[in-house]
Structure 1
Amino acid sequence: MKIFSAEQIRACDAYTIHASGIRSIDLMERAAVKAVEWLTARFDTNTLFVVLCGAGNNGGDGLAITRLLHRQGYGAKAFLLKHAEHFSADCFANLQRLQQTGTDLVELLSQGMFITDIPPHIIIIDAILGTGLNRPVEGWLADFIRHVNQLPNRKVAIDTPSGLPADTVPVKEAAVVQVKETLSFQFYKRSFLHPEGGRFAGDVHILDINLDSSFISSTHTSYETIDDVRQWYEPRNPFAHKGTFGSALMIGGSYGMIGAIALATHAVLRSGAGKVRALIPQCGYEIMQTAIPEAMCATSGEGCLTEIGGWEGMQAIGIGPGIGTDPTTVEAFTSFLEACKQPLVIDADALNILAKHADLLGKIPAGSVLTPHPKEFERMFGAVPDSMAQVEHARAQAMRYNISIVLKGHHTAVITPEGACWYNLTGNAGMATGGSGDVLCGLIAGLMAQGYEPDVAAIMGVYVHGKAGDLAAAALSQEAMIAGDIINYLGNVFLEIADGRFL
C-alpha cells in the first residue's frame, strides 16, 4: 500500500471529487459512513459517544459521524471547538445538517472552555484536527488536548490523532491526542509508522473510502507498506531438485556465540534454500553438526574465525551472527570483503566491524543487504535527531553505496538501492528476544539463494519473519516466545502465502 504525504492525499481527494463528479461534502459523507460502519460493528447501541470536532474538515467528519450515529440509535453528542475565526465550508454545512437533526446534538465551545464530568464508559471520538496540521498546536487548543488525554475514556481518532503531523514526527512535548484506535482514511500516515508518532495513534485501521484508483496507481511515492508479498512469490517447480534452489553459506560464530550462527543456519534451511553450509570456528563444530544435521559444516580457527573461504560458487552468503570482533576475525573479514564481489547479507558483529572501520563501507559488494538495528546503524553512519530522520539517512546511504538496508524496529523499514522505503506491518514485541535478528539474516540469505533479488529477498524476508513471529505469539504469548519459535512457524507463513489466505 502506498503511503502518501498530506499534500498528495489532498490532491487525491480533489482528483476523486473531479473525476467522480461529486461534491467535497459527498466525499466527507462517504468517509463518515465508513467510520460509522466500523464503530457500529464494534459497539452496541447502548454505547454513548462524545465527538470532539474542530473547525476544519476533520471536524466536518466528526459532525457527520455524530448525525449518522444518532440516526442508527446511538447516543451521540458533538462538541464543536471554535478554535479558528471561521469554519470550513463543509464543516459548516455538516453543522447545519446536525442542528436540523436535533439542536441538542451539538454544543459550541469557545476559547477557554473545556469538557468535564464525562463518565468513563463514554467513547470519545477525536475529530478536532486533521492532516492539514503544519505546526505544533498551541494555546487553548493545546491545553484542551492535554485535558482530553487526562480523561480515562477510550478514545478513537478520525483519520489522525489531533496534533499529530502526517509527514513528520511530533516535536518533544507536543500536544497530541493519545487514542486507542485511529480510523485512517485510505492510507497510512507516515508518522503512524514511527515510535514518536505511532504511540499516539494506537491500533491503526485503514478505511477504504474509494479514492480514485487511477490517481493512486499513477502517483509516485518513495514510501509503501509491505502487505502483499505474493507479487514476488515464486511457487516451486515440481520437477526441481536441490540444486535448483541454490547454495547458501552462513559465516559466523565464536566461542560462546555458536547459537547465533546455528539459528541463522536453521533459518536458511527453513526458508527453502537447496543446500546450506556453515563456516564456523572449530569450537562450534560438534554443536552445529548435532543441532543442524541438514547443513554442511566447515571450520576456520579455534575460538573465532581466522580465515573466510569456500564462498565461491555460492548463490547467497550471510555473515555476522555471533562472529565477534577479535582482531584476527576483523582481518579475515577485511580480506573477504576485498575479494568477494557478490551481494552479501551482513548482520550483527559484521556491522560493528564496519562501524569501527569506516573505510570498509566502500568495499561492500553492490546489492548487499545490511540488517542493522537503530544503534548499529548509528554506529556505522552517525546519529540523527529522530527515527524518521534515520530512515531518510538510511535512504541516502543505500543510494550512496548501492545496497539495501533493513532498519529493524517495530515497523522495520526496508530501504532499496533506489531509495524506496518499505515499512513492514507484521511482527510484535515478543520478537524483541535474543536471536531474532539472526533468524532474519538467515531467512533473507535463504531467499537470495533461491534466486530472489536482494532487495526483494529483504522485503519478503522481513514480512515472513514478522508474520511467523505473530503466529508464534498467538500460540505461545509474546512473553514466552523465543527466536527458535519464529523458525518453527516459517512454514505456516509460506503456506499462507502460497494459498493467499494471509490476505
Structure 2
Amino acid sequence: MLSILPGKKIAELDKSYAREVGISSWELMERAAESFVSWFLKGFSGVQEKVFIFSGPGNNGGDGLAIARLLSEKGFAVSVVLFSSKENSSVDWQVNFDKLPEGISRYQYPEIDFELASSAIIIDALFGVGINRALGGEYLEVVNTLNQLSGKKISIDIPSGLPSDSLVEGVAFLADMTVSFQFPKLSLLIPEHSKYVGDLHIADIGIPDSFLDQFGSNKSFVQASDIQKMHKRFDNFSHKGDFGRILLIGGRGGKVGAIILSTCSAMRTGSGLVHVWAEGASKDVIHISCCEAMVEGEKILDELDKFDALGIGPGLGEVPQDLLRNIFQSTGKPMVLDADALNVLSKHPELWDLIPKGSILTPHLKEFERLTGKSSHHFERLDKASEYAVQHKVYLVLKGAFTSISTPDGKQYFNSTGNKHMATAGSGDVLTGMITSFLGQGYDPLNASLCGVFHHGLAGEIASKTKARGMIATDIIESIPSSFLEMQID
C-alpha cells in the first residue's frame, strides 16, 4: 500500500530517500520527470498540439523543466514560461534550466501572448506540495488566465494553489488530469477538490512502500497489488461450506429490490450459501429473482450463530429498534450494517455500543451525516469517521469517489477503483452484498472491506466500458466475476 504523507513530510522523504540510495536530489527529480513522460506518451503519443509548460521557481518548476527537455527529445514542440530569474530559483531548477536544449522556446512572464497557448497542452509546474497560502500577484493572474484556455491541462504532482492537506483558499489551477508522484496527496482525494484535480494518475518514482512506511502515516492508498495479496485461495476439494454461509436481512414492503441486489452480488462474489430474511410477498419476488438463494422467515433470527456473516439494512425499511438490539445481543460476530440499519442507529445512539466489535458500517454521505452530524468539509468528515471507528471499535466504509475505510486502530485506507457512472440507485446495496460475502468467506473485517470496495469499483469500471452513463446496479453485479478474472483470482 502507498502511505499518504502530509505535505510537510514530503521534502523530508525526498532528502532521506536520496541519501539512503546514494543519489542526488536532481537525480530523484529526473526519475520523477521520466515517470511523468512515460505516462504522457501513453496518452498523447502522436498528438500535434504544442506543449506549454509553466514553471515556477521551486522544485515543482524544476520538474517542469526536466519534463520539457525529455518531451522535446521525444519530438514534441515544447515551450516553457518562466516566472523568476535563475538566481532566485532552487538549485535543482537551475540545473534543469541549464540543460534545456535550444529547440525549446522560452518566455519570461509576463512577456507571453496567451493566444500562442490557447489550444496547446498546458502543463502546470508552478507550485507543488509546499504551498501553504492562497495564490496572489502574478501567479493568481496566470492561473486565472490558464483556467480559461480550451486545451488539455495537466498538473504535475498537485494543481498549483491546492494545499496538500487542507481546503483550497481562493483560486487554484483547474486540471483535466493530475499526475501525482509516488502516492496521492490527501487533498487530491476529497470531493471539494475534484474540479481542480480532474482524473488522478499515480507516477511511480521508485521509492519502495517499505521506505514510505518509515514515516509513520496512518493513511494509505490501496492498489491492485495489495488486494491480490489479501485474497484467500481455494482448492479443488473446497465445498460450498468453505465459501461461507451468510444471512442478509432486509427487503421489507416495497423495497425488495435492494435486498435482491445484495443477494445477487453476494452470490457473484463467491458466497457458497446465501440465506435471505424477508417478509410476506417479498419472499416470492426474491425466489424468482435469485433462485440460488434460500429465503427464510422470522424463525431464522433465532439461529444467527449458524451463519458466518450477516448483512443488515438494504430495503429493511423502518423497523423497531428492538430488531437490531436483539440481533446485536444474539451474536457477537462482526456484521455489515447499511442503509436502513444505519438509519435506525442514527435515531437510537444507545445501540451504538451494542454493535458487535469489528462490524462494518457502510454509509453514504447522507447516512453518515445522520450518524455523526453535519460536517463543513470532507477533511472534517474523515476525522469524524476515524473517531467513530475508534470509539465504537468498528470499520467505517464512507462511500464515494476514493471510498475511505476507517479502522478501530485509527488508520484510514483509500480505494483506487471506481468511476462516476457508479452513482446509480442500488450501487450501495451491491457493495453490502460483496463485503458480507467476503466476511462470510473468512476474510477479516479489514480485508473484507478493502476487497469488497476494490472489486466493487473495478466491476464498475469494467461495466462502464460498454454501459457508461446507462450503467445500472445489475451491470455492476454482472461484472463482478470479470473483476476477479482481471485480478487473476480463480
TM-score class, shorter-chain normalisation, is: over 0.9
438-447 or 88-97, which deviates more? 88-97
C-alpha contact (below 8 Å) 1:289/1:297 kept by paired residues:
yes
Aligned to 2:194: 198
The match for 2:314 among 293, 318, 321 is 321
Offset, 1:10: 1.6
TM-score, normalised on structure 2?
0.93
Amino acid at match of 2:152: R
Please give the alpha-carbon distance, in whole angstroms, between the structure 2 residues aligned to 1:6 and 1:65: 22
Deviation string 1:125-144 (CA, Å, 9 cap, x unpaired) is: 11000111112222332222
Corresponding residue pairs, total: 486
The match for 1:230 among 228, 231, 250 is 228
How high is the sequence identity, in percent, across the aligned residues?
Answer: 37
Offset, 1:195: 1.5
C-alpha contact (below 8 Å) 1:191/1:198 kept by paired residues:
no
Alignment of 1:274-423 (within 5 A): 274-300=272-298, 308-326=301-319, 329-423=320-414
Give SS of 1:312's match. Answer: helix
C-alpha contact (below 8 Å) 1:169/1:194 kept by paired residues:
no
C-alpha contact (below 8 Å) 2:188/2:194 kept by paired residues:
yes
Amino acid at match of 1:287: V
Amino acid at match of 2:49: T
Aligned to 2:476: 486
Deviation string 1:417-475 (CA, Å, 9 cap, x unpaired) is: 21221111111222211111111111111111111111210110011111111111112
Aligned to 2:10: 9
Please give the alpha-carbon distance, in whole angstroms, between the structure 2 residues aligned to 1:408 and 1:83: 47
Aligned to 1:130: 128
Deviation string 1:142-178 (CA, Å, 9 cap, x unpaired) is: 222111101112111112111111222324xx21111
Please give the alpha-carbon distance, in whole angstroms, between the structure 2 residues aligned to 1:72 and 1:492: 37
Name the CA shift for 1:38/1:494 in 2 (closer, same or farther; >3 Å).
Answer: closer
Please give the alpha-carbon distance, in whole angstroms, between the structure 1 residues aligned to 2:64 and 2:409: 40
Amino acid at match of 1:372: P
C-alpha contact (below 8 Å) 1:428/1:478 kept by paired residues:
no
Alignment of 1:4-403 (within 5 A): 4-41=5-42, 42-44=44-46, 46-82=48-84, 86-98=88-100, 101-102=101-102, 105-109=105-109, 115-171=113-169, 174-211=170-207, 214-228=210-224, 229-300=227-298, 308-326=301-319, 329-403=320-394
Name the CA shift for 1:499/1:376 in 2 (closer, same or farther; >3 Å).
Answer: closer
Structure 1 stretches of 5 or more lacking a match? Answer: 302-306
490-499 or 220-229, which deviates more? 490-499
Deviation string 1:269-320 (CA, Å, 9 cap, x unpaired) is: 222222221111113121112222211112249xxxxx94432221101110
Amino acid at match of 1:190: L
C-alpha contact (below 8 Å) 2:77/2:104 kept by paired residues:
no
Please give the alpha-carbon distance, in whole angstroms, between the structure 1 residues aligned to 2:154 and 2:140: 18
Aligned to 1:464: 455
Please give the alpha-carbon distance, in whole angstroms, between the structure 1 residues aligned to 2:14 and 2:275: 53
Please give the alpha-carbon distance, in whole angstroms, between the structure 1 residues aligned to 2:244 and 2:40: 50
Please give the alpha-carbon distance, in whole angstroms, between the structure 2 residues aligned to 1:143 and 1:438: 47
Offset, 1:399: 0.7
Please give the alpha-carbon distance, in whole angstroms, between the structure 2 residues aligned to 1:296 and 1:26: 61
TM-score, normalised on structure 1?
0.91
Please give the alpha-carbon distance, in whole angstroms, between the structure 2 residues aligned to 1:107 and 1:498: 50
Give SS of 1:459's match. Answer: helix
Name the CA shift for 1:45/1:271 in 2 (closer, same or farther; >3 Å).
Answer: closer
Please give the alpha-carbon distance, in whole angstroms, between the structure 2 residues aligned to 1:415 and 1:451: 20
Amino acid at match of 1:373: H
Give SS of 1:64's match. Answer: helix
Amino acid at match of 1:108: Q
Amino acid at match of 2:276: A
Name the CA shift for 1:282/1:212 in 2 (closer, same or farther; >3 Å).
Answer: closer
Please give the alpha-carbon distance, in whole angstroms, between the structure 2 residues aligned to 1:384 and 1:498: 40
Deviation string 1:214-233 (CA, Å, 9 cap, x unpaired) is: 52243332111221311110
Amino acid at match of 2:257: G
Structure 2 stretches of 5 or more lacking a match? Answer: none
Offset, 1:20: 2.8
Give SS of 1:442's match. Answer: helix
Give SS of 1:196's match. Answer: helix
Offset, 1:124: 1.2
Name the CA shift for 1:19/1:276 in 2 (closer, same or farther; >3 Å).
Answer: same
Name the CA shift for 1:104/1:354 in 2 (closer, same or farther; >3 Å).
Answer: closer
Please give the alpha-carbon distance, in whole angstroms, between the structure 1 residues aligned to 2:181 and 2:321: 50
Give SS of 1:118's match. Answer: helix
Please give the alpha-carbon distance, in whole angstroms, between the structure 2 residues aligned to 1:360 and 1:213: 40
Q: Structure 1 stretches (4+) deviating beyond 4 angstroms?
A: none
